[in-house]
Structure 1
Amino acid sequence: MTNRRKPLHAKAYRSAFLRSRAWFARRDEWFAEQSLVLHPLACAGCGRPASKRELELHHLDYARVHQTDDGRWVARERHADLVPMHPYCHELLHRLIDRDAVLSRHRTRRAASEIALKALRRKLQALNGTAS
């Protein structure tokens, strides 16, 4: 098991799923569901408010994402399995996971993401002088 990202050409998820109609429909559905919650959208990394156009969704779990025998993608992620992030914060999160042997190889995707997200928040708070 590995949580490290693979080169774009070597990973169907990044080269096909994230460009599929299924993903764009699920992404739109996630933001529609989120709009029903009273909390405004914000990046899970830095905590800054953001609009749908400014955010990407990080997957905590891929269990409900799969490709059918005829090559179509199915995206049935649970609402809580997707985390909104600015592209920059999202990239930093993946770098934390990729560069840590324990997170990249010896943790579930969800656990690695949650641990890295906490570390990212601490680092960003320290940089902004808002550490508590």
Structure 2
Amino acid sequence: MSNRRRPSRDNTYRSRYLHSPAWFGRRDRWFVDEEHRNGVVRCALCLGAGSPRSLELHHFDYRGVTQTPFGWTAHERHEDLTALHPRCHEYVHQLIERDRALSGFVSRRTASLQAIARLQAKIAHYIEASLEQQ
């Protein structure tokens, strides 16, 4: 099993589910729940505050997503989703796709969390280096 993304044309999740009313409803509920839990919604990578308009949701697990003859259902647990700025989201996917260890992990959650941790370490390194140069 691979954590690499399949091309959109071969992926009904990306081409249909992410455009479905079920997903938009689930996404809206996630943001409301997150604000109630933490007061503010932050990007899991850069930790910058955001809103439903400025953040995307990344799936750690797809088990709550099913397609029925009547359409899509969206029953992802709150913990199976995390907010990321679009650029941060793309960085996470790029790292997972390019790194053999991450793309080969059995668990998408593990691959995603490892990618986020590695990218956070890189950000911290760049910030530290730029502060030293001042």
Decide: shared fold, TM above 0.5. Answer: yes
Equivalent residue, structure 2, for 1:101: 100
How many corresponding residue pairs?
Answer: 129
Once residues 38 and 115 of structure 1 are traced to their aligned partners in structure 2, the CA distance between those partners, rounded to angstroms, is 23
Equivalent residue, structure 2, for 1:83: 82
Q: Which runs of 5+ in 2 are unaligned?
A: 130-134
What is the DSSP-based 3-state SS (H/G/I as helix, E as strand, rest coil) of the residue aligned with 1:62?
A: coil
119-128 vs 48-57, which moves further: 119-128
Once residues 95 and 35 of structure 1 are traced to their aligned partners in structure 2, the CA distance between those partners, rounded to angstroms, is 28
Once residues 74 and 38 of structure 1 are traced to their aligned partners in structure 2, the CA distance between those partners, rounded to angstroms, is 26
Equivalent residue, structure 1, for 2:27: 27
Please tell me the residue identity of whatever aligns with 2:7: P
Q: In angstroms, what is the RMSD of aligned CA positions?
A: 1.4
Once residues 126 and 10 of structure 2 are traced to their aligned partners in structure 1, the CA distance between those partners, rounded to angstroms, is 35
1:112 has 2:111 as partner: yes
Alignment of 1:36-55 (within 5 A): 36-55=36-55
Question: For residues 24-57 of structure 1, what are the alpha-carbon distances to aligned partners after superposition, in whole Å with 9 as ceiling and x for unaligned?
Answer: 0000010111121243111101111112210000
> Taking structure 1 as the reference length, what is the TM-score of the superposition?
0.92
Structure 1 segments of 4+ aligned residues over 3 angstroms from their partners: none
Once residues 34 and 129 of structure 1 are traced to their aligned partners in structure 2, the CA distance between those partners, rounded to angstroms, is 30
Once residues 29 and 104 of structure 1 are traced to their aligned partners in structure 2, the CA distance between those partners, rounded to angstroms, is 29
> Taking structure 2 as the reference length, what is the TM-score of the superposition?
0.90
Larger Cα-atom Rg? 2
Identify if the C-alpha distance between structure 1 residues 71 and 85 changes in structure 2 by more than 3 Å, giving closer, same or farther: same
Please tell me the residue identity of whatever aligns with 1:28: D
Shift of 1:71: 5.2
Identify if the C-alpha distance between structure 1 residues 5 and 38 changes in structure 2 by more than 3 Å, giving closer, same or farther: closer
